[in-house]
Amino acid sequence: MSQRHDTAVVATIAGVAVDTRHWIGGRRVASPATFPDTSPIDGSPLTEVARGGAHEAAAAVTAAQAAFPSWSATSREERARILHAIADGVENRIEELAAVETADNGALLRSHRRGVMPRVAHNFRFFADWLLSLAHEDFETRGHTNRISWDPAGVCALITPWNAPLMLATWKVAPALAAGNTVVLKPAEWSPLTASLLADIAAEAGLPSGVLNVVQGYGEEVGSALVSDPRVARISFTGSVPTARHIAGAAAANLVPVSLELGGKSPLLVFADSDLDLAVELAVEQYDNAGQVCLAGTRLLVESSVAEEFTQRFIVKAAALQQGDPRDEATDIGPNIHPDHFARIDGFVQRALATGARAVIGGGPNTELGGLYYRPTLLTDVAPDTEIVTEEVFGPVLTLQTFDTDEEAVALANGTRFGLAATVVTGDSERARRITEQLVAGTVWVNCFFVRDLQAPFGGARQSGIGREGGTWSFDFYCDVKNTVTAPKGWQHHG
Ligand code: ADP
């Protein structure tokens, strides 16, 4: 996989210059080894990227540590100003960021342009503004004043996944920086490029050297070294459960607070009293990003009396989805990320089919398109408690199960080891209240999907994660929350 590659460091991706070295202490740093980055669109090689290890992780933490005293002492207003300048830089480069991200991870160009990259800028603006209004009312204890403050914690190690690379990276980077911390970001090796552009944008926006560092490479190498570094004060990770166990182990060894946002196997419940067109629309939306969305409601749980009608309407709607090159405006579903992942998705589907499941649509790779294009798939007749209904597939694969009573619906919905999200479609607000109260999930949507406000707590129950980020919850995590108790003037202390 690796090769000596000491020269080519700036690649041109979709017409955009991307430096593929690390960004440490305000300088580009090469590694003796590199790893290849290929495009999921057509499997073409994009570039070689610096392959960091323990040495680069340590250097980045050293740089972040050196930058911490000054950045943490920088006023809130100045930090907020710089974060807004980063947002400006993102907005100025939306087209470039969108083009590079699509080349790198294969998600739709139109989503990157219109939804994702504006949201990346918003991540910075939101946490900059939230910082300025962050406050807890003082309160008194026998005349003593309690004052709550959010103190910067130190160096944050941020490990991010490939399904929404810059979006998920900045959802951590922005609050960590706003809080007055310094950061080492390790993007996923299957989509490493936009993190490098972010480093350029942050530097141009005036973020001081060493406040944001980016190291590239494999999780088991540079990632593992980074999260094990005892100088790291916070670890925030979005990714898979097995990797989370390694990271939580490293955090435990150093007793470092860790935030884990993991996968899901979220239910989408359709009750007979629902607007079926809405239910179908929401269900088909679960194929977004070729199913590579942790929040996706991949288990359709439909009340028996409307299951046939729902399925027929679903088939019609899903058949209208265009699969193809994610750079085409008309495309709805692009490729999956990587051959290894593609094989994993197909493995789940073929094993389910072999044990009696029926593919109402899809059921295998899109052989016309070839490459990493997997046909949107809906599986019925799935055996309860088999892997297709309990494990996260992370591809365009949905299952459909039926229920007859509210109790059954809730039992099915809560019947996995995950608890990230749930969607409830019903025309009865009383039922919605009853059902949502019983669901185990970090986020529940009623008659909608993917409405995400940055001030809302975000995270998962059970094995979908530990902790919550968003709004004040992000500052609670990225800061040392302090209570300062001051005696009133003239107070006589009687021990
Ligand atoms: P997936 O299996 O879907 O690729 P992962 O959870 O393995 O997801 O990857 C998410 C992120 O975690 C990536 O940036 C990856 O490099 C990183 N990673 C993987 N293994 C480790 C590890 N042992 N320590 C730290 N980071 C890791």
For residue 461, the CA-to-ligand 1 centroid distance in Å is: 20
Q: Are residues 51 and 16 in the same domain?
A: yes
Q: Are residues 256 and 373 in the same domain?
A: no
Amino acid occupying residue 60 = A
Alpha carbon distances (Å) from 207 to 71, 80, 177, 449: 9, 11, 10, 35
426 touches 444 (CB < 8 A): no
Q: What is the DSSP letter of 288?
A: G
Q: How many domains does the chain have?
A: 2
Q: How confident is the model at residue 494 (pLDDT cuts 50, 70, 90)?
A: confident
Kindly report, residue by residue over 55-98, the tens digit of the pLDDT: 999 999 999 999 999 999 999 999 999 999 999 999 999 999 99
Q: Establish if 184 belongs to a structural domain.
A: yes
Q: Establish if 112 belongs to a structural domain.
A: yes
Domain boundary among 405, 428, 446: 446
Region 134-146 average pLDDT = 97
Q: Establish if 178 belongs to a structural domain.
A: yes
Q: Are residues 233 and 276 in the same domain?
A: no
Q: Is the CB of 186 under 6 A from ligand 1?
A: yes
Cα–Cα distance, 116 to 97 (Å, whole number): 10
For residue 219, the CA-to-ligand 1 centroid distance in Å is: 5
Q: Establish if 376 belongs to a structural domain.
A: yes
329 is a catalytic site residue: no
Q: Are residues 37 and 114 in the same domain?
A: yes
Residue having the nearest C-alpha atom to atom 1 of ligand 1: 240
Q: Is the CB of 80 under 6 A from ligand 1?
A: no
Q: Are residues 328 and 230 in the same domain?
A: no
Q: How confident is the model at residue 448 (pLDDT cuts 50, 70, 90)?
A: very high
Q: What is the DSSP letter of 383?
A: P
Q: Establish if 20 belongs to a structural domain.
A: yes
Q: Are residues 205 and 310 in the same domain?
A: no
State the CATH number of the domain containing residue 411: 3.40.309.10
Q: Establish if 456 belongs to a structural domain.
A: no
Q: Is the CB of 161 under 6 A from ligand 1?
A: yes
Q: Are residues 283 and 253 in the same domain?
A: no
Kindly report, residue by residue over 152-179, the tens digit of the pLDDT: 999 999 999 999 999 999 999 999 999 9
For residue 275, the CA-to-ligand 1 centroid distance in Å is: 40
Kindly report, residue by residue over 180-236, the tens digit of the pLDDT: 999 999 999 999 999 999 999 999 999 999 999 999 999 999 999 999 999 999 999
Cα–Cα distance, 214 to 185 (Å, whole number): 5
> Would you report the helix, strand and coil content of the chain in percent, each value rounded to 5?
40, 25, 35
Domain boundary among 246, 263, 280: 263
Q: Are residues 314 and 343 in the same domain?
A: yes
Q: Establish if 455 belongs to a structural domain.
A: no
Position in ligand 1 atom list of the atom nearest CA 250: 24
41 touches 200 (CB < 8 A): no
Name the 3-class secondary structure at 35.
strand
DSSP count for the chain of H helices, then E strands = 16, 25
Q: How confident is the model at residue 491 (pLDDT cuts 50, 70, 90)?
A: confident
Q: Of 56, 294, 303, 469, which one is the catalytic site residue?
A: 294
Cα 460 to chain centroid distance, Å, stands at: 12
Q: Is the CB of 328 under 6 A from ligand 1?
A: no
301 touches 409 (CB < 8 A): yes
> Which one of 243, 245, 344 would you pick to mutate in the ligand 1 pocket, going by the greatest count of ligand atoms within 8 A of its CB?
243
Cα–Cα distance, 27 to 75 (Å, whole number): 25
Domain boundary among 426, 446, 466: 446
Q: Are residues 282 and 429 in the same domain?
A: yes
170 touches 474 (CB < 8 A): no
Q: Is the CB of 442 under 6 A from ligand 1?
A: no
Q: What is the DSSP letter of 382?
A: P
Residue 304, pLDDT > 70, answer yes
Q: Are residues 154 and 299 in the same domain?
A: no
Q: Which of 59, 82, 88, 85 is nearest to 210 (CA)?
A: 59
- Sorted by sequence, the CB contacts under 8 Å of residue 347 that are 6+ apart come out as none
Name the 3-class secondary structure at 16.
strand
Helix (H) or strand (E) holding 340: helix 339-354
467 touches 260 (CB < 8 A): yes
pLDDT at 492: 83
CA angle 474, 475, 476 (to 5 degrees): 90
26 touches 64 (CB < 8 A): no
Q: How confident is the model at residue 3 (pLDDT cuts 50, 70, 90)?
A: very low
Q: How confident is the model at residue 128 (pLDDT cuts 50, 70, 90)?
A: very high
Kindly report, residue by residue over 332-371, the tens digit of the pLDDT: 999 999 999 999 999 999 999 999 999 999 999 999 999 9
Q: Is the CB of 105 under 6 A from ligand 1?
A: no
Residue 4, pLDDT > 50, answer no
Q: Establish if 389 belongs to a structural domain.
A: yes
Residue % of the chain over a pLDDT of 90:
97
Domain encompassing residue 132: 2-263
Cα–Cα distance, 336 to 342 (Å, whole number): 6
Backbone phi and psi for residue 159, each to the nearest 5 degrees, phi listed first? -115, 125
247 touches 229 (CB < 8 A): no
Sign of CA dihedral 276, 460, 128, 88: negative
Cα–Cα distance, 426 to 278 (Å, whole number): 10
State the CATH number of the domain containing residue 222: 3.40.605.10
Q: Is the CB of 189 under 6 A from ligand 1?
A: yes
Tokens 């809405």, located at residue = 278
Region 25-41 average pLDDT = 97
If you count them, how many residues does the chain have? 495
Cα–Cα distance, 294 to 163 (Å, whole number): 9
294 is a catalytic site residue: yes
302 touches 399 (CB < 8 A): no
- Sorted by sequence, the CB contacts under 8 Å of residue 110 that are 6+ apart come out as 329
Name the 3-class secondary structure at 233.
strand
- DSSP string across 191-220: S-HHHHHHHHHHHHTTPPTTSEEE--S-II
Mean pLDDT of the chain: 97
pLDDT at 495: 61
Its pTM stands at 0.97
Position in ligand 1 atom list of the atom nearest CA 226: 25
449 touches 428 (CB < 8 A): no
pLDDT at 65: 98
- DSSP string across 144-165: EEEEEEEEE--EEEEE--SSSH
Q: Is the CB of 217 under 6 A from ligand 1?
A: no
Kindly report, residue by residue over 258-303, the tens digit of the pLDDT: 999 999 999 999 999 999 999 999 999 999 999 999 999 999 999 9
Q: Are residues 168 and 240 in the same domain?
A: yes
pLDDT at 8: 57
pLDDT at 7: 45
For residue 225, the CA-to-ligand 1 centroid distance in Å is: 12
Q: Which of 295, 303, 481, 483 is nearest to 401 (CA)?
A: 303
Cα–Cα distance, 460 to 440 (Å, whole number): 9
For residue 338, the CA-to-ligand 1 centroid distance in Å is: 14
- Give CA torsion, residues 254, 259, 218, 214, to 10 deg: -90
Q: Of 261, 303, 392, 469, which one is the catalytic site residue?
A: 261
Cα–Cα distance, 404 to 269 (Å, whole number): 12
Cα–Cα distance, 407 to 370 (Å, whole number): 43
Q: Are residues 236 and 307 in the same domain?
A: no
Q: Which of 191, 446, 197, 408 is nearest to 302 (CA)?
A: 408
